[in-house]
Structure 1
Amino acid sequence: MRQSVKSLSYLSLAIASALSTQALAEEQALDSSDPSLERIEVTARKTVENLQEVPVAVTSIGADDLAQNGIEVLTEVQQFSPNTTLQRSRGTNSTITAFIRGVGQQDPLWGYEPGVGIYVDDVYMARPQGAVLDLLDVERIEVLRGPQGTLYGKNTIGGAIKYVTKEMSGDTELKVQGTVGSYNQTDFKLTGQIPLIDDSLYIGFGVASLQRDGFGEYLQSALEGQDKENYNKDVTAARVTLEFHPSDDLFFRLNYDKTKDESNAKGGYRLLPSILTDAPVPDSVYDSYTSLPTWNEVELEGISFTARWDVSDNTQLKYIASSRESYSPTNIDFDNTALPIFDVPAIYDDEQMTHELQLNNVGDNYKFVSGIYYYDGESCGQFEAILEVLGNALGAPGLTREVTGCNNSTSQAVYAQVSYDLTDQWSVTAGGRYTKDEKEAYVNNGLIFATVYPESGWVPGYVRPEGELVPEVLNDKQDWSKFTPRIGVEYQAHDDLMLFASYAKGFKSGTFNPRASTAEPAANPEDVDSFELGMKSEWFNNRLRANVTFFALDHQDRQYISVLPGETAADLNQRLANVGESESTGIEAELAFRATDNLELTASLGTIDADFTEVLDTNPETGEQFDKSDRFTISNTPDYTFNLGANYTLESNIGDFVFNANYYYRDDYVLFEEDSLLTQDGYGLLNVGINWFSNDGHWTAGLHAKNLTDEEYMIGGYQFVAPLEDGSYAPGLGGDNTLIGYYGDPRTVSLTVSYQF
């Protein structure tokens, strides 16, 4: 690891030296009136700074770029951030799978902590359910890569995604936007603001209805009257904001938001024909079969309050409080047949409350950020693993493994970070965060020789028996404390070139196994140590921006679920423990070039070499411990990704036309870490768009085509089969060939028109 960092250091300095020598000579020949790139401001270090002054690997995409590229949901941002994976999860449209630099969370079960933090206006979203946010009234999206344990705390060992909404201008504004597109897409958004007291009190609002037919259908359904659309969209969202500016030094914001996603449960694509019923491999990857209801729901609701006081020109106090809750009843048909072979109806129910008080101070030669933080969250759930066909084969009327429980936690933290200028060229950054976590959990787990659903009425005519149906197997609590430091050094070679090196530590919270079948101990926190060498640079009078980061990280005490053999195929015995370690090294480069006043070219590249170095397991028969890291691969992490883009503005007497195109490529990657049977080959997405802006500033229109070549690519799956030497498969849980894939969006075309009053 040290040798890798040393080699990267030499390479970084060599590149910077070569570029500096060439660019300084050429810049002298350029006129100051030449076109230049726009300044980008970010809040990666919890204070407003120029992107080029921040010694952090961060991608920022503003509202204009989001709109001009037709970006509608948070997951599309992955195309513009190197070594980043943001995908819709397996069974719903609203649950996110997020990985950065090979660190993330694949299983969205309650109690499992994410590796990438999601923030909306500095409010942390603890669970992945509902985190695939549709963009409404957004100012920018920031992607912070690498551990953010000092300023953002636990569960940001891969990085953090920041969704920043717009502050109000104080004027009366109203914007109406409509979109029509492929698969009968019909979206409607209405946003606006009204001053209640001039220059002091404003109210803002936003509502959205987002509708689309399915990309495929359920070819068979065991239940009558079910909506057979698959991969459809049915989302409504609303936001109300009250802002109060009593003076130039004071700012208050109260925000309420609610989102309801009633899109159907997603059915997976059978990669193997069923051996128990008539369910061949469908012709379309978006078609499926099911024995469960097709309805699904993800409901989010939250309120937040922000107070900001500029105590002086140099000192600011900021307080952020929030309360959020989500409720998600969902249907996941693992086997994707019209028989109840392996069905999992489930409920996720989460609540959280946060408080954060920040004190920031800026001097002539330093910047100081500090704060205290409190989090209180309840994460509960229930799922039924219905194996009715297997139960019938055993002579029972059905068979269900029921698991219910909660993982509730509190977290307290205090943090501080200072950046200090030693000279005009040299500066240092040092900070740390101390966190104390406490988690309390219970799990009920057991077999029921009947077919059981989470609630009465889940399927027509079903009445759930009263009382607890399975025994409590775990009831425990534990606490952990961690100190996560960050230290760095920056060298400002000249006004437009900064070199930096840093070390940062992050941790992912310890947790209890929500699927525990015995009173097993909690898994301890995961740790990541990260080293970065970077360059932030602008050349040729700010016509070319080149930001490059080299990183190396050591991921320790990885939490991993091991499946234990049981007496029958119905046993879902799983053990959670800290059994893994991995290492990663890579490069991230982001380039932007203003070729002319009207033409801008962009490029980004991410490479990563990530491997497990140790995965320990225990032979249940002999008790002997062994290393099985040769069977493991870092999931959802291509060896490289790149994006090439162009944006051209054509001025005319009827307004400006902006043409854009980008090509995004992901190398091959696996979907599962252990013995993955699902590998997605490398693929590219070609997207093009034309935008029009009227001269009076009222009208805009955009025509966007995405995935123009109609690529088919897997973003999730399930594997419950065992490969045999002859290339066939032995059936897994439920007795069927359950090898399932979920896919990204096909080719779509949409037209968006908006009017700003």
Structure 2
Amino acid sequence: MIARFHWLAGCAGAALIAGATIGTSHAEETGPPALSPLAAAESANDAGAITVTARRRAESAQDVPLAISVVSADTLENTGSFNVNRLQQLTPTLQYYSSNPRNTSLSIRGIGAPFGLTNDGFEQGVGIYVDDVYYARVASATLDFLDVAQLEVLRGPQGTLYGKNTTAGAINITTRQPTFDFEGRAEVTVGDLRFKQAKAAISGPLSDTVAARLAVSSTSRRGTIYNVATDRWINAQDNIGLRGQILFRPNDDLDITLSGDFNKQNAECCGTVFARVGQTQRPLNRQYDALAAAQNYTVVSRNGFDRLTDIDADLNAGNELGGAALRVKWDVGPGTLTSVTAWRYWDWKPANDRDFTGLPITTLSQNPSQQNQYTQEFRYNYSGRRFDFVVGAFGFHQTVRTQGTEQLGPAASRWLLNPGTVAQVPPGSSGCGPSASNQLACDPSVLEGVTAYNDIRLDNTSAALFGQLSWKVTEALTVQPGLRVNYDKKKGLYSRTVFDGAGNPVLFRDANGVLITDPRVAAQRDQLTPQRIEPRFSAWNFSYDFNVSYKVTPDVLVYATYAKTFKTGGINLNGVPNDSSGNPLVQVGSIKPEKVHHFEAGIKSQFWDRRATFNLSAFRTDIRNFQALVNSGAVSTTRGYLANADKVRTQGIEADLSLRPSERFNAYASGTYTDATYVRFTGAPCPPELSGGPSTTPDQANASPAGTPGGVSPASCDISGQRLAGVSKWSLSYGAEVNAPTGLLGQEGQVYLGVDGSYRSRFSSNPSESAYTWIKGYALTNVRAGFRTDSGFDVFGWVRNAFDVDYYEMLSVTSGSTGLIAGQPGDPRTYGLTLKAAF
């Protein structure tokens, strides 16, 4: 504990020294206020203080004593950041990974969600809020932003101000609201890869007391990977969104807003390319190159950046989200009472190729899912001369219903089963002959047609009381305690039935309860395991935080925060391992809540007549019972299940700088150093180079050296001291824009040139560090040039990834321990033209 405070004190001390060096009083200065580091890319016409609602009241971002990134609508549009994936290039502390909309994860400062396939039974650590409505499904992060006015990325725990408890942070999105003055805006973009995007919004009065707003967005683009098996481009974009709002304002004290939205994606997505092959512990004849040669299979390209694939299963990423909300804001004396009632739904209609090859190994893999969620929040905000406070109550109920189907094809036996040992079968041979010790792999009918049907259900209920008090002890000193009481209850079902190719049930025991030892049946249930569990979880949790802030000068704020919080427990809804008798290990059906201790200190400052803004924060978060994704060590028994790692720590420093010396030039830079580490995790999944062999030893020290064909694999691995997956130690975003007054076609305005870029250092793309899944660091640069007027007309050309950098967004270890690594390459260089108008 003392070491933690010393570490934070050192960082805070450095921040104070920097503030003392650059910070002076500007109470009487009249220079243009500097924009936030992210909003600095806006046009000069939008200069001004950045107002945020992070603490549930409107205030300057520089007065909020927490780390926050603010991105305006203009910044999103000018940089082409129309979804969260592109937003992470503007906010280096945000990490986003998505193999498809369902399997999407968001992290801030390295924490938020386990890296890997999504499990419906746990909560996200990063909350997404749109106009005060909590979006439980992280799939919403894959949708286009729709009629956004401003976006705030809050870093650190947000449990005493927001309805749903979030331990890593929150993305708070505010959309444009209905107006009693008629207004409209439209935007059209065209680009290469047949990119087309159109956005439009119109707002105005229906009567003296009623106003309405309607917004629509549509995006389409050809895929970036060519599938030779289907003669089609895949991983396309095909999104449409619609949002409508009606505001009833009977008097100046009362606003009642009814809103509804509909969003749909229907792209042929999400496929991968061959990235590389690494040696595992499987016998050599059971690894990728030998298995492919034995079946006369040659992948279309071994260079992933040729952007060619030959995956042969159907692909689909049908994703539909929508809902309705009723928000009531009533000014009652010195405070405001807010009620937000909302219903949201999510329909997921997928199809995947889970063997990542052009061979018919897994011929069908899909888990369509339907979610409904209902939320109710009551909140009262009070603002006074010495005290401000927020108190609230939040209720949440969610149902998820999933119906999964997975089927194995004629190549499954050869690929997944053992046709012999290394001594018996030369590398590259089929292994199917008189000397083969195991003829099961040589018989396609063993696994061909084996089908699993999943019935997965979740009923999730939570309720909370929360509040936060700001006490202005003096004009300069404010103390801010917060409290939260939370109750969570989860009830689940995971039921998987399996049938062989002839339609016979695949079971562990016969009608008399005797374990079935037939080798064919054992092989079938090892690949697709029948199971039924009904996990449960319920618990009360109490959390709190305490913040102290001090105004050194009117333009220099220092602050420190401590938070003791939690992420609620969860249940496993992707299956759990079985014991040797085929009984599910029900004791791992639920996972413990995370226990979080968070420390943060920072400085916010403006100087140079408020033409410059410099913010610095240092943080450390310790998490016990960290919720992680593990596997059972078997070849293909489960898709991974949740477990608790003993302890995780993330710590780092974040800095933001923006400069606006004049209306003709602005620049910004944001950087973060993040050290996210498993302090202790002894039962972790092993990397591919230690998997695939017989797990005769539980101790990693007694296993064969990594990448030894035919070697002995440990049942699990100790990855204590390793970095968390998906986290770069260094991340940076930067940009600048210069403009000059000019005229065009009789219109007075500005011609401008802008550049923005991002960099991130290498990171692991596997839950356990592997030599095969490190993604090397990369830098992306975007350029735009155009002409705009004060009346809202703007036309500009743009180039994204201007230097055509080859990089992977994600690498995936394929099932079966064959050594195949599949990849998702990032977008190549793209270019286009955008036209915007407002009236």
TM-score normalised by the chain length of structure 2: 0.81
The partner residue of 2:781 within 673, 686, 699 is 686
Shift of 1:34: 6.3
User: In the alignment, is residue 270 of structure 1 matched against residue 360 of structure 2?
Assistant: no
1:179 to 162, 181, 189: 189
Question: Deviation per CA, 1:294-329, whole angstroms, max 9, x where unpaired?
Answer: 3331011111110000112x2100000110111111
Partner residue, 1:739: 821
Contact 1:443 1:472 in 2 (8 A): yes
**Shift in CA distance, 404/281, structure 1 to aligned 2, threshold 3 Å:** farther
Residue matched to 1:210: 219
Tell me what 1:456 maps to: none
> d(CA) in 2 for partners of 1:534 and 1:594?
22
Matching residue of 2:512: none
Report the 3-state secondary structure (helix = DSSP H, G, I; strand = E; otherwise coil) of the residue aligned with 1:514.
coil
In structure 2, C-alpha distance between the alignment counterparts of 1:201 and 1:485, rounded to whole Å = 41
Structure 1 residue corresponding to 2:352, chosen from 312, 332, 354 = 332
- Contact conserved, 1:334 with 1:738, CA < 8 A, in 2? no
Structure 2 distance, partners of 1:574, 1:284, is 26
Q: Structure 1 pair 631/444, CA: closer, same or farther in 2 (3 Å)?
A: farther
The one-letter code of the counterpart of 1:655 is G
Q: Report whether the alignment pairs 1:550 with 2:618.
A: yes
Q: Is 2:111 the counterpart of 1:103?
A: yes
Supply the distance in 2 between the matched residues of 1:35 and 1:209 (Cα, whole angstroms): 35
What is the deviation of 1:86?
2.4
1:238 paired residue number: 242
3-state SS in 2 of match to 1:292: coil
Structure 1 contact 125–131 (Cα < 8 Å) conserved: no
Partners of 1:317 and 1:202 in 2: CA distance:
21
Pairing 1:748–2:758 present:
no
Answer whether contact 1:58 1:145 (CA < 8 A) is retained. yes
In structure 1, runs of 5+ residues without a counterpart are 222-226, 453-468, 722-730
Tell me the C-alpha RMSD between the 2 structures.
Answer: 2.6
Q: Which residue of 2 aligns with 1:502?
A: 561
Conservation of the 8 A alpha-carbon contact between 2:177 and 2:213: no
Q: Which residue of 2 aligns with 1:251?
A: 255
The answer (yes or no) to whether the contact 1:148–1:504 under 8 Å persists in 2 is: no
1:468-547 aligned within 5 A? 473-517=532-576, 518=584, 519-520=586-587, 521-547=589-615
Aligned mates of 2:78, 2:656 — CA distance in 1:
19
Is the alpha carbon distance of 1:254 and 1:450 closer, same or farther for their aligned partners in structure 2, counting shifts above 3 Å?
farther
2:457 alignment partner in structure 1: 406
Q: What is the CA–CA distance in structure 2 between the aligned matches of 1:129 and 1:34, rounded to whole Å?
A: 40
Correspondence for 2:40? none
Once residues 9 and 803 of structure 2 are traced to their aligned partners in structure 1, the CA distance between those partners, rounded to angstroms, is 40
How many matched pairs?
Answer: 715
> CA, structure 1 residues 564+626, in 2 after alignment: closer, same or farther (shift >3 Å)?
closer
Whole-angstrom distance in 2 between the partners of 1:481 and 1:31: 51
Aligned equivalent of 1:40, options 40, 50, 54? 50
Listed as ranges, the matches of 1:117-196 within 5 Å are 117-152=127-162, 154=164, 156-196=166-206
Of 478, 482, 505, the residue aligned with 1:431 is: 482
Comparing both structures, which one devotes a greater share of its residues to strand? 1
Give secondary structure in 1 for the equivalent of 2:317: coil
Task: Give runs of aligned pairs for residues 293-372 of structure 1, distance below 5 A.
Answer: 293-312=314-333, 314-342=334-362, 343-372=364-393
The letter of the residue matching 2:366 is P
For the residue of structure 1 that corresponds to 2:446, the secondary structure is coil
Q: Contact conserved, 2:487 with 2:538, CA < 8 A, in 1? A: yes
**Higher Cα Rg, which structure:** 2
Compared CA separation, residues 125 and 232, structure 1 to 2 (3 A): same
Q: Which one of the candidate residues 581, 586, 594 is aligned to 2:647?
A: 581
Contact 1:153 1:433 in 2 (8 A): no
In the alignment, the residues of structure 1 paired with residue 733 and residue 248 of structure 2 have an alpha-carbon distance, to the nearest angstrom, of 41
Q: Distance in 2 between matches of 1:575 and 1:80?
A: 33
Residue 24 of structure 1: SS of its match in structure 2? coil
**What is the percentage of aligned positions where both structures have the same residue?**
27
Rounded Cα–Cα distance in structure 2 between residues aligned with 1:508 and 1:100: 14
Instruction: Structure 2: state its 5+ residue gaps.
Output: 36-47, 278-287, 414-442, 504-527, 577-583, 686-694, 700-714
1:660-671 to 2 correspondence within 5 Å? 660-671=754-765
Kindly provide the CA deviation profile for residues 469-501 of structure 1, in whole angstroms up to 9, marking residues without a partner as x: 996611243211111211011111110111101
The alpha-carbon deviation at position 627 of structure 1 amounts to 7.1
Q: For residues 97 and 577 of structure 1, do their structure 2 counterparts lie closer, same or farther at Cα, with a shift above 3 Å needed?
A: closer
In structure 2, the residue matched to 1:462 is none
- The range that moved more, 167-176 or 600-609, is 167-176
User: C-alpha distance in 2, partners of 1:485/1:217?
Assistant: 52
Task: Map residues 592-671 of structure 1 onto 2, 5 A cutoff.
Answer: 592-617=658-683, 628-630=718-720, 632-653=722-743, 654-671=748-765
User: What SS is found at the alignment partner of 1:258?
Assistant: strand
For residue 104 of structure 1, report the CA deviation from its aligned partner: 2.3
Query: Aligned equivalents of 1:652 and 1:570: distance in 2?
Result: 65
C-alpha change, 1:153 and 1:671, in structure 2 (3 Å) is: farther
Structure 1 match to 2:794: 700
Structure 1 residues 109 and 19: alpha-carbon distance in aligned structure 2, compared to 1, 3 A threshold: closer
- Counterparts of 1:476 and 1:69, CA distance in 2: 45
1:446 Cα deviation (Å)? Answer: 4.0
Spell out, residue by residue over 1:539-596, the C-alpha distance to the aligned partner (whole angstroms, 9 max, x if none). Answer: 1221111111000110210123332245xx4532755322331112100011111122
**What SS is found at the alignment partner of 1:80?**
coil
Provide the C-alpha distance between the structure 2 equivalents of 1:333 and 1:626, rounded to a whole number of angstroms.
27
Partner SS state of residue 55, structure 1: coil
| SS at structure 2 position matched to 1:104 | coil
After superposition, the C-alpha distances for 1:43-86 in whole angstroms (9 at most, x for unaligned) are 11111111111111110111122222232222222122232112
Residue 229 in structure 1 maps to residue 233 in structure 2: yes
Alignment match, 1:457: none
Q: Give 1:284 shift.
A: 4.9
Cα pair 1:401 1:570 within 8 Å, conserved:
no
User: Following TM superposition, by how much is the alpha carbon of 1:153 offset from its aligned partner in structure 2, in angstroms?
Assistant: 5.3
CA contact (8 A) 1:400 1:451 kept: no
Task: Classify 1:22/1:582 alpha carbon distance in 2 versus 1 (closer, same or farther; 3 Å).
Answer: closer
Q: What secondary structure sits across from 1:507 in the alignment?
A: strand
Q: Give the counterpart letter for 1:434 in structure 2.
A: V
Contact 1:174 1:191 in 2 (8 A): yes
TM-score (norm 1): 0.89
1:563 and 2:631 matched: yes
Whether 1:5 and 2:5 are equivalent positions in the alignment is yes
* Structure 1 Cα separation of the partners of residues 502 and 329 of structure 2: 55
> Is 2:301 the counterpart of 1:291?
no
Which residue of 2 is the match for residue 463 of structure 1? none
SS across alignment from 2:831: strand
Contact 1:83 1:637 in 2 (8 A): no
C-alpha deviation, 1:599, in angstroms: 0.9
Report how far residue 393 of structure 1 moved: 3.1
Contact kept, 8 Å, 1:272 with 1:281, in 2: the verdict is no
**What code does the residue aligned with 2:572 have?**
N
Equivalent AA in structure 1 for residue 108 of structure 2: I
Deviation at residue 293 of structure 1 after TM alignment: 1.7
Which segment is superposed worse, 4-13 or 237-246? 4-13
Letter in 1 for 2:412: L
Aligned to 2:400: 379
Pair 1:551–1:562, CA change in 2 (3 A): same
CA-CA distance at 1:33 after TM superposition:
4.5
Query: Any idea what SS the aligned residue of 1:65 has?
Result: helix
Which residue of 2 is the match for residue 70 of structure 1? 80
Alignment-mate amino acid for residue 783 of structure 2: V
Cα gap change, 1:679 to 1:546, in 2 (>3 Å): same
Quickly say closer, same or farther: Cα 1:691–1:369, change in 2 above 3 A. Answer: farther
TM-aligned CA deviation for residue 251 of structure 1: 0.5
Residue 627 to residue 250, structure 1, CA distance change in 2 (3 Å)? same
Q: Structure 1 residues 626, 256: CA separation in 2 closer, same or farther (over 3 Å shift)?
A: closer
